Amino acid sequence: MADNQNLEALKAPGAVFFIFGATGDLARRKLFPAIFSLYREGKLAEDFAVVGVARRPRTNEEFRDDVFRSIQEFGRYKSSDQEKWNKFAEHFEYKSLDINNVAGFQELKEQTEAIEQKFSIPGNRLFYLALAPELFGSVSLNLREGGMLDNEGWHRLVIEKPFGYDLKSAEKLNEELGHVFKEDEIYRIDHYLGKEMVQNIETIRFSNLFFESLWNNKYIANVQITLGETVGVEERGGYYDHAGALRDMGQNHILQLLTMIAMEPPSRPLAEDLRDEKVKVLRSLHHFADAAEVKANVVRGQYTAGQSKGKDLPGYREEDKVDPDSNTETFFAARVSVDNFRWAGVPFYIRTGKRLPVKTTEVVIEFKKMPGNIYLGQKHDLQPNLLVIRVNPMEGIYFKINAKKPGSESEIAQVAMEFCQSCLVGINSPEAYERLIHDAAKGDSTYFTRWDEVASAWAFVDKIDAAWKENPSDVSSYPAGSWGPKEADELLARDGFHWWPVNGEEEDNVIWVAASSS
Ligand SMILES: NC(=O)C1=CN([C@@H]2O[C@H](COP(=O)(O)OP(=O)(O)OC[C@H]3O[C@@H](n4cnc5c(N)ncnc54)[C@H](OP(=O)(O)O)[C@@H]3O)[C@@H](O)[C@H]2O)C=CC1
Ligand SMILES: O=C1O[C@H](COP(=O)(O)O)[C@@H](O)[C@H](O)[C@H]1O
């Protein structure tokens, strides 16, 4: 009984989910599998439906086949029972329309009313825009013009990143959306906020006395945030060549991770309180004053041909749909300061890149060194304590401490005490998109970015971009499969630090103690 009650509380209310861009890459790889997982776990009400929208012609049957293939290829759960699949698939319909043509929306309205009647759906409508950002404004206007918002029930707009190209374009887009939707109806996706371990940062920080009491500039020497990718630009060269790493990963995912690490505890466990704290961090970021300051603190790189695991990899300029003379950065690293009471003097080193040696998202908190004076003269190099939060692909945390090497007389060894969440049997963490779609359907905006966060992040990034534009070809190169240009190491070396190894590239002399059941 208690379990049933819990399940009921988890269920999102009945609604129609509109996936605009239903024939696209994101829908196929992430959104359909996420909806299936929510259904399998009983997190969707029985009275739900999904309407896929794009220009390509598709019958409902063809669309359901597309959805089936996407789930079998990319889903956490696969479908193996035809009868159960048919029951799920009958909730899916397709509508071919051009976003720019309002007549299509009027037809969509009629189709939607019939679906709502068929499944007794109470009129709630969630519009997920898995579309190129240029279409976001038109789709919201045409939803209104086509009468899609005239009914009773809630209306929510879920928007993919990038939200604009810079502050100015983001403001324009926000204004366009604001003519149709209120701020609390807009859910701006940053899928990193849906990741299990990103949400866990809040819990780790605010439920452990020994972390929170050390979480400041008295005890922390620096923070390192790495979002490494082994892939190149794949099929997205056309988009990426206009975006680059700073816009693609920096303005959103990295700065969001940084806010989770740096924010003050929210006064109440409410979405607005958490977002208030995050925006305060973004407002505290030191904005680089001019090109010289950017040059001293930000490194940009582009990959050239290289090798990974014995495989030859092309350079960025040889990639499909990329300008052969492109100066777009596929890597950036920066030394960032959060100018507030807690963090003054603590450098935050951030980096991301395509074609790095490993796929990894990790945050390393390096604590200040102990004086070590009582060990002087004993050939001990006392290492600093580290707290490492592993977000992706491994999930977990570990803490590095110094201890007497087992069996030795006085030797000191580094011990890594690990909670390896992904090693735990039975844990199959929900994908970020599952959580976020579920949250949006329940009206919980905690892990979506509010407009003032987006605007503050752009204001910071625009300063870097403006400096880069003054000298567009000043981009360092790095061979595919390496850790980026050497200047990224120099950023830290200057301060007496270095990047800590990530994702299992651990030093040999560390003793691991695992707190998992694997
Ligand atoms: N793919 C990814 O991994 C990620 C994507 N994103 C973001 O998600 C969004 C979608 O990306 P992605 O799926 O890769 O893009 P795709 O190019 O693969 O898909 C775009 C979709 O838009 C549809 N479309 C284009 N023009 C129109 C139009 N005029 N009217 C109706 N439908 C139209 C296309 O269908 P059709 O041609 O049939 O009309 C297609 O379904 C983008 O904002 C992207 O930045 C964010 C993070 C990761
Ligand atoms: O938003 C994006 O994220 C992906 C990386 O996401 P992850 O969850 O696999 O770490 C990145 O490849 C893509 O370029 C970017 O647009």
- Determine whether the annotation assigns residue 507 to a binding site: no
**In the chain, which segments carry CATH 3.40.50.720?**
2-160
pLDDT of residue 413: 87
Is the bond leading into 393 cis (omega within 30 degrees of zero)? Answer: yes
Cα 41 to Cα 39: distance, rounded to the nearest angstrom: 5
Q: Could you write out the DSSP letters of every residue in 470-514?
A: HSTT--EEEETTS-S-THHHHHHHTTT--PPP-TT---TTEEEEE
Which is the CATH superfamily of the domain at 193-514?
Dihydrodipicolinate Reductase; domain 2 (3.30.360.10)
Q: Could you write out the DSSP letters of every residue in 170-220?
A: HHHHHHHHHTTS-GGGEEE--GGGGSHHHHHHHHHHHT-HHHHTT-STTTE
pLDDT of residue 69: 97
CB 232 within 8 A of CB 355: yes
Tell me the CATH architecture of domain 2-160.
3-Layer(aba) Sandwich (3.40)
Residue 160 CA to ligand 1 center (angstroms) comes to: 10
Q: What is the DSSP letter of 419?
A: E
Q: Which of 91, 155, 242, 253 is catalytic?
A: 253
CA-only gyration radius of the chain, Å: 24
**Could you tell me if the CB of 23 is within 6 A of ligand 1?**
yes
pLDDT of residue 46: 86
- Determine whether the annotation assigns residue 354 to a binding site: yes
Q: pTM of the full predicted structure?
A: 0.94
pLDDT of residue 10: 82
Those residues of the chain that have pLDDT short of 50 are 1-2, 517-518
> Which residue's alpha carbon is nearest to atom 3 within ligand 2?
249
**In the chain, which segments carry CATH 3.30.360.10?**
193-514
**Could you tell me if the CB of 26 is within 6 A of ligand 1?**
yes
pLDDT of residue 374: 77
**Could you tell me if the CB of 392 is within 6 A of ligand 2?**
yes
Cα 487 to Cα 334: distance, rounded to the nearest angstrom: 10
- Determine whether the annotation assigns residue 195 to a binding site: yes
Helix H or strand E encompassing 415: strand 412-420
**Could you tell me if the CB of 143 is within 6 A of ligand 1?**
no
